[in-house]
Structure 1
């Protein structure tokens, strides 16, 4: 059996961007990656507009739920290979230490929940961010260090990040 890279996406409330990234990585390359998401202040539920963006192409929406990043810090937690912060407030020095000393990356996306805005604008921003995350995930899974994984061989190099998102 081939080892899968474990990737944790972080966002403050873990209800939109990190959930979208987790779902997309699982759907597009779940045979090579185990995807997780969490945040320091998890929301009560996945944001309905995030669910609406994912609904057409994601097979297991029921597996998605906001989680505290503390669930990934204990000795019993899965050992991540890579942690990707999608929010300035959780990047670098703000994030807790995760077991196994995973690489830490930061991808920058607008927060579709940041400000009060009319619902039509929020929906458009969600759609824009969704497609930015699709492009970023697609680029990430094609990085050379993961090419061997497509052929059933695991690279021993540490995971790398794609540059910051636009």
Structure 2
């Protein structure tokens, strides 16, 4: 049996981008990866537009919830292989030290929760970011198993097709 790579996605509030990445990686390649997400200022709940984006193609939304990144810094925390910052506010050197010295990467996406966005623009931005994350994860998943960690940051420009089990928005 091959061990699963542990991947932690970071975003400030852990209610949108990082939750999407966690849920999508678990759904698309849960047989190869254990996915987690967290942030320094976790929201009280997942943003409703995040749930709306995930609901059609993600089978287990019930396991998702915003978490503090401190849950992943203690001796008891799972040892990550890769930590991915999804915005500049959580990228090194802002992020804490995670046990096991995981590889750090940055996949920056626009913040769909940014101030000054109309509700219709916000809905469109959630859709756009969702599909950007799908493309990024698809390239990451398609990388050879032994090269996944070393190529984590180079997949950004790849344009693989979206997996069939996700909705076309």
Same fold, TM-score > 0.5, yes or no: yes
Q: Aligned residue for 1:163?
A: 154
Instruction: Say yes or no: does 1:134 pair with 2:124.
Output: no
Aligned residue pairs total 156
- Using the alignment, how far apart are the partners of 1:118 and 1:12 within structure 2? 21
1:119-160: CA deviations, max 9, x gaps? 11100000000000000000001112x1xxxxxxxx4x6712
Q: What pairs up with 1:19-30 in 2 under 5 angstroms?
A: 19-30=19-30
- Using the alignment, how far apart are the partners of 1:164 and 1:137 within structure 2? 8
- Where in structure 1 are there 5+ consecutive unaligned residues? 147-154
- Using the alignment, how far apart are the partners of 1:106 and 1:164 within structure 2? 11
Contact kept? 2:82, 2:104, Cα under 8 Å? yes
TM-score by length of 2: 0.89
Q: Aligned residue for 1:120?
A: 120
- Using the alignment, how far apart are the partners of 1:158 and 1:103 within structure 2? 11
- Using the alignment, how far apart are the partners of 1:136 and 1:113 within structure 2? 20
SS class of match (2:52):
helix
- Using the alignment, how far apart are the partners of 2:130 and 2:32 within structure 1? 22
- Where in structure 2 are there 5+ consecutive unaligned residues? 158-169
Cα displacement (A) at 1:114: 1.1
Structure 1 moving runs of 4+ over 6 Å: none
TM-score by length of 1: 0.90
Cα displacement (A) at 1:165: 4.0
- Using the alignment, how far apart are the partners of 2:22 and 2:156 within structure 1? 16
Q: What is the Cα-based RMSD across aligned positions, in Å? A: 1.4
